[in-house]
Amino acid sequence: MSRLSEIQERIDKKIANVVVFGMGYIGLPTALFYAEKGLNVTGLDTNADLVSDLKNGITHMEEEGLDSLASQNLPRIRLITSYEEIEKADVCVLCLPSPIDKEKKPVLRFLENSIAELGRRLKKGCLVLIESTVPVGTTERLATLFAEESRLKLGNDFWFAHCPERVLPGKVVAELETNHRLAGGVTSQSTKLATAFLSSVFNAELVHPTSARVSEAAKLAENSYRDVNVAFANELARICAELGIDVTEVIQLANLHPRVDILRPGIGVGGYCLPKDGWLLVQSIKDGTFVPRLITAARSVNDEMPAYVFSRVQELDLEALSLKPIVGLLGLSFKPNVSDTRNSPSVQLVHILLAAGMEVIVFDPYVERDYGAKRAESLDELLDACEVVILGVGHDMLVRDLVEKDLSQKVFIDPNNSMPDLKNRVKKYIGLSI
C-alpha cells in the first residue's frame, strides 16, 4: 500500500495519528476539538511549563466553553515538548505564531524551524497543514524546505496544505465547529488529502478545496478588509470631529442604506491579527511592481487613534476644571470581554498619557498588569481617585457596573461610544467626534 493510500485510509477510519504543533490560542482549542471528535491527538509545545500546566488541566486561556472542552479532552491528548516523539505522525497541524517585526516584515522562523525539525525526523511521509496566517507563497516555500530536510518527495511521500483558522477570539470554541474552512493544497493531491482530513472532523459542506496561495490570500484578505473598514470609520470620526457632528449618528443613518455597513470607530485596532495581516498581504508582493497604498494607509489611520484620543484628553484644561491631575483608564484588553492585551490600543494610550507626564490609574477586571500606571483594585477605587475617566474598553461587566455609579462629577471620555446614555449624567461627556 502506498503512503498516500495508507494516510487516506487512516483518515477515513479516524485512526490517523494527528500532531498539533503549538498549544496556544489556536492550537490548544484545535487539539481539544480533534480529541473530542475521537482522533488520536498529540499536542506538542516546546514551552515545558505550558505543557506541564496543561497536564495538570491548567489552560491559561479564557474562552467560553474551553474549560469544559479541556476537562473532558485534555486527558485524551498526549502532551509532549520534544520532536523526538512524532515519528508516527500521519497528519501534522502547525498552529505557530507568524508575527511581524518592528519593520513590519513577516517573522516566519517559528514555522521554518518547526518544518526543518519535522523534516529531519519524519522518515515516513505525512500530511502537513499550516494553520498560521502567512504571506502568500509561504506554504509552498515551507514544502520545499521540508523536502530538502527530509529528502522525501512532495506528492509521493508527503503532502502540504494551508488551512487557516478564522475563529474569533472570545468565541473560539463556538466558531471552531461553525466556521467555513479552506483546504489550500500545494498540489491537487495535497488539496484532496487536506479536504478529506478536515471533512473527517468538520461538516464537509464547510470545507472548501482551493490552492495554497489562494487560501493564504483569502485569510489575509479577510482581516485586511476588516482593518480597512475600521479605518474608514475612524477617519470618518476624525472628519466629524472637525465638523462638530456626532459620527455615531452619521454612521447610524448612513447604515440605513441597504448596501452600506460602516463599522464602529473607536480607540484603535488591536489584537494579534488585524494589526499584522495587512502588512503580511502587502509584503506578499514585496518584489512586485505594484505598491499597495490603501491597506497600509488604513494601518496608519488605525494606529493613530490612541494618540487622537489623547488629544481629546489634552483639550481638557484640568486646572481650569479644577480637576485632580490624575486620569483614570478603564479597560486594557484589545477588545471587550477578553483578557488578551496583544497590541491593545488602550495600553498604547496608557503609555502616551504617562509619556506626557500625566498621572494614570487603571482598572480592568480581566487584566492584572498595570503597564506602568497605578492599578486600582476595583472600579470604586479608580472612581474615588480621579475625575477624568476614560472608558478604553467597554467590557460588559464594566458598563453594567458604571451604570449604577454616581458619575455626575466626572469628565467621561468614551472613545468607543460604549455608554452614550451617560451624556446627561456626567459633568462633561467626550465622545470620539463630539
Binding interface with ligand SAJ (CB under 6 A): 133, 166-169, 222-223, 226, 230, 263-264, 266, 269-271, 273-274, 334-335
Q: How far is the CB of 339 from ligand SAJ (least distance, A)?
A: 13
Burial class (CB within 10 angstroms; exposed 0-12, middle 13-18, buried 19+) of 261? exposed
Considering the complex, state which of residue 160 and residue 334 has its C-beta at the smaller distance from ligand SAJ: 334
Q: How far is the CB of 317 from ligand SAJ (least distance, A)?
A: 29
Instruction: State the catalytic residue, choosing from 92, 219, 276, 386.
Output: 219
Q: Are 363 and 326 in contact (CB under 8 A)?
A: no
Distance, in Å, from the CA atom of 407 to the CA atom of 428, rounded to the nearest integer, reads 10
Backbone angles phi, psi at 193, to 5 degrees: -70, -40
Q: Is 219 annotated as catalytic? A: yes
Match 470620526 to its residue by C-alpha cell. 237
How is residue 234 written as a grid cell? 475612524
Residues 6+ apart with CB under 8 A from 241: 247, 432, 433, 434
Q: How far is the CB of 139 from ligand SAJ (least distance, A)?
A: 16
Considering the complex, state which of residue 37 and residue 166 has its C-beta at the smaller distance from ligand SAJ: 166
Distance, in Å, from the CA atom of 275 to the CA atom of 223, rounded to the nearest integer, reads 9
Considering the complex, state which of residue 147 and residue 263 has its C-beta at the smaller distance from ligand SAJ: 263
Considering the complex, state which of residue 79 and residue 136 has its C-beta at the smaller distance from ligand SAJ: 136
How is residue 240 written as a grid cell? 466629524
Instruction: State the catalytic residue, choosing from 92, 95, 163, 273.
Output: 273
Q: Is 273 annotated as catalytic? A: yes
Considering the complex, state which of residue 276 and residue 410 has its C-beta at the smaller distance from ligand SAJ: 276
Q: How far is the CB of 215 from ligand SAJ (least distance, A)?
A: 13
Q: Which of 393, 433, 385 is nearest to 409 (CA)?
A: 385
Interior/surface letters 299-334, b for 16+ CB within 10 angstroms, e for the rest: bebbbbbbebbbebbeebebeeeebeebbbbbbbbb
Give the CA dihedral 169, 170, 171, 172, nearest 10 degrees.
Answer: 50
Q: How far is the CB of 349 from ligand SAJ (least distance, A)?
A: 12
User: Which are the catalytic amino acids?
Assistant: 219, 273
